[in-house]
């Protein structure tokens, strides 16, 4: 190897961008890896694998992927009643709008993911309320940061007889459930939670349909 070859190689190496042991020669690829690493469960290695795949994809497919990602942010908003994520052209979701759903019973969930997991089981015919989070003093999330005021208003305005708090069985989930019970008990509404059939810390999306359906059927008071 000549001195020039060596300095060229060194220059090339210095221009590469490192992510742990992963390195890339293009800034655009590195930026994509960095963005993908923000997704849950995606480390540098997986992000790099996806980025190498994306760069090989057909331009149309890449365009569709980018449009779909932008669209979930730009073309959706929260249902005015339950805070479920819906298409921007609607004001309320299909569940809130449906007269086939039992409005006397409302299942309170943390996010859309849990709502969809329960909905997928087909075993619940009431309505929902999405809090958008759980109370966590450690993470600085207080009761005013989640949609609890709106839930209390719904209990006041609608003919709701039972609230099922369907949170994951964690410290935050239990604390939020207890607070909801405390806030709603004076209104005379029954506050229940699904029976423990789910693994501690498991969320609904990672639990099978039968377990969710059974847990919802066998409710216990909070």
For Zn ion, give the closer residue by CB, 95 or 216.
Answer: 95
Q: How far is the CB of 69 from Zn ion (least distance, A)?
A: 24
Q: Which of 22, 36, 47, 81 binds Zn ion (CB under 5 A)?
A: 81
**Binding flag, residue 36, Zn ion (CB under 5 A):** no
CA dist 85 → 40, 90, 112, 130 (Å): 20, 10, 7, 9
Options 84, 121, 192, 207; binder of Zn ion; rule CB under 5 A: 84
Total chain residues near Zn ion (CB under 5 A):
6
Nearer to Zn ion, 96 or 155 (CB): 96
Q: Which C-beta is closer to Zn ion: that of 82 or that of 177? A: 82
Instruction: Answer yes or no: are the C-beta atoms of 172 and 135 closer than 8 Å.
Output: yes
170's CB contacts (< 8 A; 6+ apart) are: 134, 200, 201
Q: What is the dihedral of CA 53, 55, 58, 61, to 10 degrees?
A: 70
User: Does residue 109 touch Zn ion according to CB under 5 A?
Assistant: no
Is residue 115 a contact residue for Zn ion (CB under 5 A)?
no
Name the segment binding Zn ion (CB under 5 A); options: 93-101, 157-165, 172-180, 181-189.
93-101
In the chain, % helix, strand, coil (3-state, to 5) comes to 50, 20, 35
Structure tokens at 4: 């020039």
CA gap 86, 96 in Å, rounded: 11
Q: Which of 104, 133, 98 is nearest to 119 (CA)?
A: 98
In angstroms, what is the minimal distance from the CB of 163 to Zn ion?
Answer: 15
Least distance in Å: CB of 79 to Zn ion? 3
What does the binding site for Zn ion look like in residue numbers (CB under 5 A)?
79, 81-82, 84, 93, 96
């Amino acid at each position: 190897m000549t001195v020039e070859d060596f300095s060229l190689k060194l220059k090339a190496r210095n221009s590469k961008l490192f992510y742990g042991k992963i390195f890339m020669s293009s800034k655009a690829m590195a930026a994509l890896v960095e963005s993908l690493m923000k997704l849950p469960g995606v480390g540098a290695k997986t992000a790099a694998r996806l980025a190498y795949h994306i760069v090989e994809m057909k331009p149309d497919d890449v365009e569709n992927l980018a449009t779909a990602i932008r669209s979930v942010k730009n073309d959706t908003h929260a249902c005015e009643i339950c805070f479920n994520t819906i298409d921007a052209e609607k004001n309320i979701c299909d569940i809130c709008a449906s007269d086939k759903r039992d409005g006397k019973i409302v299942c309170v969930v943390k996010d859309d993911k849990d709502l969809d997991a329960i909905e997928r089981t087909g075993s619940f015919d009431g309505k929902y309320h999405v809090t958008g989070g759980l109370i966590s003093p450690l993470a600085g999330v207080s009761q005013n940061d989640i949609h609890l005021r709106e839930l209390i208003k719904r209990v006041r305005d609608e003919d709701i007889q039972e609230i099922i708090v369907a949170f994951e069985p964690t410290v935050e989930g239990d604390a939020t459930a207890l607070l909801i019970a405390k806030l709603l008990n004076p209104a005379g509404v029954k506050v229940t939670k699904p029976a423990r059939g789910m693994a501690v810390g498991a969320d609904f999306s990672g639990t099978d349909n039968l377990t969710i359906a059974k847990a919802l059927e066998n409710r216990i008071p909070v």
